[in-house]
Amino acid sequence: MRSSVTIVGASLAGLRAAETLRRDGFDGTISLIGDEPHVPYDRPPLSKQFLSGDWEADRLALSPPERITGLDLDLRLGQRATGLDVCSHTIEVEGTAEGYDGLLIATGARCRTIRGTEGIDGVYTLRNLDDGLAIRAALRDSPRRVVVVGAGFIGAEVAATAVGYGVPVTMVEALPAPLGRVLGDTVGSVVAELHVDHGVDLRCGVGVEEICGTDSVESVRLSDGAVVETDLVVVGIGVVPNTEWLEDSGLTIDNGVLCDETCLAAPDVTAAGDVARWPNPRYGELMRVEHWDNAVEQGAHAARRLMQSSEEARPFSPVPWFWSDQYDRKVQLAGRARPDDEVRLVDGSFQERRFAVIYGRGGRLTAVFGMNRPRQVMQFKGLLESGASWNEALDFAEVQT
C-alpha cells in the first residue's frame, strides 16, 4: 500500500485525481502542487462567461473551499515542479528535491505564441485566469478592433464573446474554413457563416506574417498582403504540453508524457489531462486529448492506476467528447472526426444552423457533431461507445426521422 501520492498540476485533472483517491478510501498524504497561485478553477468559462463579464473569478472554482479543505490535501500553490528522476523516485519543486511514493503528472499545456510578439502590449493568449483578466480589461477599454488569430474552438469562442462588447472583430484562419482540420470544410463553412452573420470579418486561407508595433500592437500584416489595424490581438493557435521539466526524467516524452494504455508512464508514475499521450485501444492510435471531459475521466483513471497492480489495471478507452458555446449556438463533438471522413446530415438543416451530422471511416461510425442538437449528439455518442458500424448508424438515423 502507498503511504503518499504527489500530484503535479493543480487544475481539473489533478483535483479530480485527488478527489478520486479520497472517495476510494485512500487515507495517506496527498500533495497537490500547482504553479499558479489560484485554487483549482475551471478553464472553459474563461473564453465565454468570464470573458463576457457575466461571471467573476469566484464562480470558476472547481470545488467550494470547504470541499477542498475536506480532502485534507497538502496544497502547495504558486510552486513549480522543476525536475524529476524516476530512477531515484525524486521530484524537484522550485529546485529542491523531495521523494515521492506515487506520482501523477497533470501539468497541462501552454498556448503557442507568434514569434516576435514578446514585449508588445496588446497581444494575448488565453489559457489561465490571469490571461482572462487581462483580455477582459482590454475589451472593456473599447479597443478599435480585436484581431483573433486562429478559428479553432478557443478562437471562435473569443471572437463570439468579443462581438458582445460591440467592437469590430476580425478572425484570421490559415485553413479554408474554421475547424476544418477537425470537422472538414462542409461543416466548417457552416461555422464560418455563423460568425459572418454576427458581424465578424472572417479571413480564411491566410496566415499572419507579422504583428506590427513597437511598444503596443498597431496592426497585423497577413500573408495575402492585407494589413488590419488593431490595438488588441488574441492568439489561439493551439497548445504545447508542459513537459520541459521532464526532459531528463527517464520518462518518454513525445508530444506529451507517453503512457501505456492504462495511463502508466513509468513504475509508480501516471499522467492525465492535456499533458498525457496514450494508446486508446478503442481507436488503435496514440492520442492526446485537450477536452474538459477527458481531464475529468483520465484524472480519476490515472489516480486509480497508482493504486492497482498490473493485473488489476484496465485500459483507458474513452470516446472523446467536447462542447462549445458560440453566440446562441451550442456545438458538441463526440468521437474522432477527420477531414476526409464521410459526412452525413442526420437531423435538422445547415441553413437553420440547427443540425447533427455523423462521420464515418472504414465502415465504422467515427464521430458526431451537433449544433443545438444535444439529444442527437448523446444518442450517437452511445452508438460510438458501443462500436457501431456506419450502416448501423445510418439505420438508427433513418428510424429517428
Burial of residue 274, with CB atoms counted within 10 A of its CB: 0-12 exposed, 13-18 middle, 19 or more buried: buried
pLDDT tens across 192-224, in order?
999 999 999 999 999 999 999 989 999 999 999
For residue 180, the model assigns a pLDDT of 87
For residue 12, the model assigns a pLDDT of 97
Nearest to 288 by CA among 297, 279, 296: 279
For residue 55, the model assigns a pLDDT of 97
For residue 401, the model assigns a pLDDT of 67
For residue 144, the model assigns a pLDDT of 95
pTM for the model stands at: 0.95
Reading the chain (401 residues) residue by residue, the pLDDT tens digits are 899 999 999 999 999 999 999 999 999 999 999 999 999 999 999 999 999 999 999 999 999 999 999 999 999 999 999 999 999 999 999 989 999 999 999 999 999 999 889 889 999 999 999 999 999 999 999 999 999 999 999 999 999 999 999 999 999 999 999 988 889 999 999 999 999 999 999 999 999 999 999 899 999 999 999 999 999 999 999 999 999 999 999 999 999 999 999 999 999 999 999 999 999 999 999 999 999 999 999 999 999 999 999 999 999 999 999 999 999 999 999 999 998 999 999 999 999 999 999 999 999 999 999 999 999 999 999 999 999 999 999 999 988 76
Cα dist from 306 to 45, 294, 301, whole Å: 31, 18, 9
**What domains sit in the chain, N to C, each tagged with a CATH number?**
4-110+239-306 (3.50.50.60), 113-235 (3.50.50.60), 328-400 (3.30.390.30)
pLDDT tens across 8-35, in order?
999 999 999 999 999 999 999 999 999 9
